[in-house]
A and B are shown apart, each in its own frame.
Chain A
Amino acid sequence: MEHTRSFRFFNRGPSPVVRLIFFVSLSMLLLFVDARYKYLESARSLLSILVYPLQRLVAVPATLWHQADTYFTFQSNLVSDNAQLRQQHEVDAAQLRQLQVLQAENQHLRQLLAVQQYADYPMQVAEIVYTERDIFKRKLFIDKGAQANVLAGQVVMDDSGIVGQVTRVYPWLSEVTLVTDKDHAVPVQVLRNGLRAVVFGSGDTSELALRYIPISSDIQEGDVLVTSGIDGTYPPGLQVARVSRIERDPAYPFSRILCIPLAGVDRQRQLLILSGLPKLPKRNEALVEAFPDKPKRGGRRKP
């Protein structure tokens, strides 16, 4: 009698081991479904609606600090900045004029060659909400999402080059995988001589690696890499990185080449999302036919 009473008194549902097995298998199941089939994106965006306001709330002190910091700048700083910007503006204006001439010439040549135009892409400006919170990943979140017609797979850049690619879209937020994310690949060309290659992220914010380049290839320190557009994900001609170090060891078939990303992958606050690249597939096919032996894929996750 006593035994049964105490037993009922301490009855607290299933034992810890049973619970452990249940929840571990539930987690495993979720992991499997999420990793393999991507069925859970709607559940994730639903939960993100709950989480998103709180995350913005937590980011408020940092934003306020930034704003206060910019508000309390000294007048002398402003004056010198202003002078510098004016100077920069004149230099830029001169260069812009040259660019316009070159653009006109280029357009003319293209028309002559009957090559499809691919210069203008619609862009939208987005602001970084916060950067990666997981040490394993090089990711950041920007404040434009499905409500602003952002799609997964779109390219994100700043004024000086490629920053990354949109990999996941939430209602008001989207996740950008940086080019420096481990094994994120971008197909590139060396600007100087047109050598095609693929540049990989190294998992470090300030480094990219150019793999599978034979020792004998013509590549030098300081070479600028631009996207080749072969993959159909990244539009051609955007700057990606500059070669910073080359190690040619005859013991290995490939040379070890490190590059520095040109875009402020870890510096900017405003970024541009390139949208509407529908012209590319046609051009892409033509290119693939012309050079069938070249690397084909760039972005890891395509929409």
Chain B
Amino acid sequence: MNKILTIAFNTYRESIRNKVFYIIIVFAMFLLSCSLILATLALGEDDRIIKHVGLSAINIFGLLMAIFVGVNLVYDELEKRTVYTIIASGVKRYEFLFGKFLGLFFTVGVNILIMGFMLCLLVIAWPDCSLSATLVLAILLFLLEMLVISAIAILFSSFSTPILSAVLTFMCCVIGHMSEDLLEWSKRLSEQGSAVFAKVLTVIYYILPNLEIFNLKNQVIYSEDIGSIGHHFITYPIYAIVYSGILMLIAILSFSRRDFK
């Protein structure tokens, strides 16, 4: 475990010393500032606009960070051969990959928590806004989404180039947010007699993650009661951990017998 944590911490340190990290943070702050400007323009809608723009910014920048930092992590180690001396130090390949994954999640998680904290402060400070438990839960659920996205990015990064990994991870994220639509579409196709396409969509639905379950934006904006889905706050973390675990297992299997060039 010590080796995994050492690699995770080093990955985190690499990310925070990478200028891209700061650019993303600055952009997030910029977007939060935009929400303030928009809020002053839309009279009486301050609360909704600040929360909507703020949560969207956290989600988008968290996603961008997970993708752009994640897809380069393993690839760079192999390309620059920094992995050689690590493996030669007696670190197992699964320890290396898992350390990279934890480091990425920690980097993205810290970023999301900082942005979330800033949003909460803004909501508290703004006269017509109120901080709700739903808002805090929405931010915490983003962490679970990032856990899954980090695992997807590491999986692709372990066997393909950064550009391809970024495209594939982004596609998984987009489709993952349309998961319920896929099922609906599959049902319609089935009713229309296109059984094969319906089956394909059903398979995609079950293979790709359902990221929309981690999205509480509407509930936050419209101050909906989340009591009815309250029990899912136990199942959602389990879903995220198991799904990420399976992805990491696949990544480790493909990584463990691979020749590093």
A, B from the same assembly: no
